Structure formats: structure tokens, C-alpha cells
């Protein structure tokens, strides 16, 4: 995580919760889900709650339970469980079924509520155990697993995967989606009790102030176009390159920097030796890569949100993306970047994205002003408000009254 959330004073009227959070991804794994969950846990602890994190044991890690106090505020207990490597996703783990273990654990130390963040074997076990014990359950729709099938040549599985996800989430008391558009889409596919819980960004960590002259010298002269994310088929990386080539025709000195790693990297490097591959970056190094670029390309359509979009905006660079997820919520065409209409027609959508990149290439002198507007928008996306909404959801599934006036920063 980048930096602590603001510590908030907890009102006496707000009960201290014992929350169990179940996930199959967790830092130091680098992805949007792990990052979001870490911020939620940090925020709930800062509000005085106790959080038990149950997740697969990571390579080389002890299976010992770790309890981490946060001064006088809430505790966090990390409880690693058995897991296996996730095929095709180096560094990620898949939890194994653990219903009996969780039932025994929660019978002895009963949580007030359970939040299930991932729909893998461990998540299904947690849902079954919680339902057997009568513990309220909230779930998060963090990943479009139903949409991933078409990127791996098994698009015919999409209806089946969606049916499995729907059955899972409809057994929960509430399902949290990061945008209103996704919540509406899920409801249209038969998902029940869907509620919006937005995402935040740390604008003190992701900031234009982290621009690095060292990186700029290393990358060479000319505008820098950036892409950040896993180098995998579902990220639509071919369109990143195609859009950059269209931009490069008009701005020959432009450079494309790809931050991230994954199964597509070797083929991309072989096919495009002039591109700059930095590998995975985290912490301050990642923030410097964002801030040192001039334009952000994000053609992925598989995201439920896309944290990288608002991280780029907070870093002061304009964003070119399809009009979905985070971009739909926060990017304004011609002001903080450009949004491209997404129709679902792969060929037409790709052509429109490439055209938008070429149009941006005609006004590189305007990118800085767009970046300033992007930064101004991102400054309003505070994690404190997101955590407060998450807390409200947890209280409501317990039948607690909603605190209509959230605690102020302390």
C-alpha cells in the first residue's frame, strides 16, 4: 500500500465490527483487487473495527496466523490457508476448499459479518460456511470472469460462467459493484441486491510531483505514452500498440512504455523491440512511472473498474480509454482525455480507438492542460468516503441503523 489513510475518530454510537474478509488475492500480489482490499482493510481498522483476512498462503510463507495491531484502533488478523498456483497467472494463488475449517473457526470465534471478495473455491467455501452459521455475507464483483472466456478462446463458456457467478452472488445479502453502469448490467443479467461502492485513489502518492528526470532521460526524447497493467490477452494489448503506431505516425519521436508483466510479454517484446518494457513496478517507482509519462492508453474492456485509470489521472496525465468502467465515471472527452464509444463490435471499436489516438496526436501541446484537469478530478476520489460506504454496508446487513453523518477526519 502507498500510504496510510486518514485516521478517523470513531463515534461511540458506531459499534465495533468483527469482520471476516475472504479473498484469493492479497498484497504483495499486484492487481487492482488486492490493492482495493488492502485499502478497505486499512480503512476499517482506522475506524476501530477488527478484520480477519483469510486468503491462500503465498509461496515461501509461513502458515502461522499473524495479528497486527494498529496503535489503539482495530486489529487485523491474517490467516493463511492452503492454496495452489493459478494456471497462467504467475505469482497468483487459488484457495482450496475449506468449508469445514471455516465452519469450525467461525463457530469458535464468530464474526459479525463476512465479506467474500473472490468467487474461487475458497470464496465458495466461505459462503457455504457463513450461510450454515447464519452469518450475514456481503460479496464484491471485482472481476469480469464471465467476460474473460472470450479472450482465451472459450467464449462459449460465458453463459455458464455467468450463471455460476449469479448463483454465488444471489446467495449473498448484498453484492458490491464499483460503478452504477456495472450494477445496472448485473441487475439486467439477474443478479439481485446489487449496490454501488466506488473506488478511491491516493492523490498524495500518485501525484505529478513524482515526475522523474532520470526516467525521462532513460526513455529518450519525445512524448511518452504509457500503459500499465498485466500483460495478458484480456488487456487488449494489441490495440495499445496499434493506437500508439497511429499516434507515432504524427509524432515520430513518441515512445511507448509498458509497465507490467504477464504471459504476453515475450511475444510483444519479440514483435516490437522498439517499445520500452519496464516489468512490474510498485510503490514509489510505479508512481514515478505514471508521473513521468505524457499520455495514458487504456483499451481494456474487461475491467469492472480499472484502478489504473484514476491512478493515471491523479498523476496528472490525460487518459484515452473506452467509455466504460472508471473512464465512463471520471474521464471527460476533450477535458481530461478522451472516451471512445464501446459498441461490442471488435473491429469497429478498435478502429474508433485508433482514430482517437491519432486525433490526440494532433494536439500534443494540449496534453498538459488535460492532465491538470485529470488531476483536479482525481483529487475528489477519496478512499475515506469509500471506506465509510463499505462500513455502512456491513452495518446494514447486520440490521444496524445507518450513521447519516459520517465521522470527520481526525
CB 283 within 8 A of CB 251: no
pLDDT-derived band of residue 129, with 50, 70 and 90 as boundaries? very high
Cα distance between residue 131 and residue 171, in whole Å:
8
Quote the CA–CA distance of 144 and 402 in Å, as a whole number.
Answer: 30
CATH 3.40.50.2000, the chain: domain bounds = 18-200+382-397, 208-378
Q: For residue 26, which phi and psi values (nearest 5 degrees)?
A: -160, 145
378 three-state secondary structure: helix
Which one, of 402, 384, 351, 330, lies nearest residue 181 by Cα?
330
Give domain 208-378's CATH number out of 3.40.50.2000, 3.90.190.20, 3.40.50.11540, 3.50.50.60: 3.40.50.2000
The rounded mean pLDDT for the chain is 88
Q: What radius of gyration, in Å, describes the C-alpha atoms of the chain?
A: 21
For 321, the 3-state DSSP assignment is strand
User: What is the mean pLDDT of the segment spanning 177-184?
Assistant: 93
CATH topology of domain 18-200+382-397: Rossmann fold (3.40.50)
Residues 245-270 have pLDDT tens digits of 999 999 999 999 999 999 999 999 99
Contact 291, 212 (CB under 8 A): yes
Concatenating the DSSP letter of every residue in 152-220 gives GT-GGGHHHHHHHHHHHHHTSSEEEESSHHHHHHHHHTT--SEEE------TTTS-GGG--HHHHHHH-
The mean-pLDDT minimum among 10-14, 106-110, 131-135 falls in: 10-14
pLDDT in tens, 336-387: 999 999 999 999 999 999 999 999 999 999 999 999 999 999 999 999 999 9
Q: What is the pLDDT of residue 67?
A: 67
Closest by CA to 124, choosing from 155, 94, 144, is: 94
Q: What is the pLDDT of residues 272-317, one digit of tens each?
A: 999 999 999 999 999 999 999 999 999 998 888 999 999 999 999 9
Average pLDDT over residues 3-16: 50
pLDDT greater than 60 at residue 153: no
Amino acid at each position: 500500500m502507498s500510504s496510510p489513510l486518514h485516521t478517523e475518530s470513531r463515534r461511540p454510537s458506531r459499534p465495533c465490527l468483527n469482520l471476516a474478509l475472504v479473498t484469493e488475492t492479497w498484497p504483495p500480489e499486484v492487481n487492482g483487487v488486492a490493492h482495493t482490499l488492502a485499502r478497505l482493510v486499512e480503512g476499517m481498522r482506522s475506524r476501530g473495527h477488527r478484520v480477519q483476512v483469510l486468503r491462500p498462503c503465498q509461496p515461501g510463507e509461513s502458515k502461522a496466523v499473524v495479528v497486527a495491531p494498529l496503535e489503539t484502533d482495530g486489529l487485523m488478523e491474517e490467516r493463511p490457508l492452503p492454496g495452489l498456483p493459478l494456471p497462467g497467472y504467475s505469482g497468483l494463488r487459488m484457495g482450496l476448499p475449506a468449508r469445514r475449517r471455516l465452519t469450525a473457526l467461525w463457530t469458535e470465534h464468530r464474526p459479525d459479518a463476512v465479506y467474500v471478495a473472490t468467487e474461487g473455491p475458497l470464496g465458495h467455501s466461505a459462503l457455504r460456511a457463513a450461510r450454515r452459521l447464519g452469518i450475514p455475507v456481503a460479496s464484491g464483483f471485482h472481476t469480469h470472469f464471465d467476460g474473460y472466456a472470450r479472450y482465451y478462446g472459450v467464449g462459449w463458456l460465458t453463459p455458464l460462467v455467468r450463471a455460476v457467478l449469479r448463483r454465488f452472488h444471489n446467495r449473498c445479502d448484498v453484492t458490491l459493484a464499483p460503478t452504477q453502469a456495472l450494477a445496472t448490467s448485473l441487475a439486467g443479467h439477474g443478479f439481485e441486491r446489487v449496490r454501488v461502492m466506488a473506488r478511491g485513489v491516493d492523490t498524495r502518492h500518485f501525484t505529478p510531483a513524482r515526475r522523474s528526470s532520470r526516467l525521462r532521460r532513460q526513455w529518450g526524447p519525445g512524448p511518452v505514452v504509457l500503459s500499465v497493467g498485466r500483460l495478458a490477452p484480456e488487456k487488449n494489448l494489441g490495440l495499445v500498440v496499434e493506437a500508439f503506431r497511429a499516434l507515432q505516425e504524427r509524432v515520430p519521436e513518441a515512445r511507448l512504455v509498458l509497465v507490467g508483466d504477464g504471459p504476453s510479454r515475450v511475444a510483444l517484446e519479440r514483435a516490437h523491440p522498439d517499445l520500452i518494457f519496464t516489468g512490474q513496478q510498485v510503490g514509489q517507482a510505479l508512481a514515478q512511472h505514471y508521473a513521468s509519462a505524457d499520455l495514458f492508453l487504456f483499451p481494456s474492456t474487461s475491467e469492472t473498474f480499472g484502478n489504473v485509470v484514476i491512478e493515471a489521472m491523479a498523476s496528472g496525465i490525460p487518459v484515452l480509454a473506452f467509455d466504460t468502467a472508471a473512464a465512463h465515471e471520471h474521464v471527460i472527452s476533450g477535458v481530461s482525455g478522451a472516451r471512445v464509444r464501446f459498441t461490442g463490435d471488435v473491429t469497429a471499436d478498435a478502429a474508433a480507438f485508433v482514430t482517437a489516438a491519432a486525433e490526440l496526436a494532433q494536439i500534443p501541446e494540449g496534453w498538459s492542460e488535460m492532465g491538470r484537469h485529470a488531476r483536479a478530478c482525481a483529487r475528489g476520489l477519496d478512499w475515506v468516503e469509500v471506506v465509510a460506504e463499505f462500513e455502512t454496508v456491513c452495518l446494514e446487513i447486520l440490521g444496524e441503523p445507518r450513521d447519516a453523518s459520517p465521522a470527520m477526519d481526525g
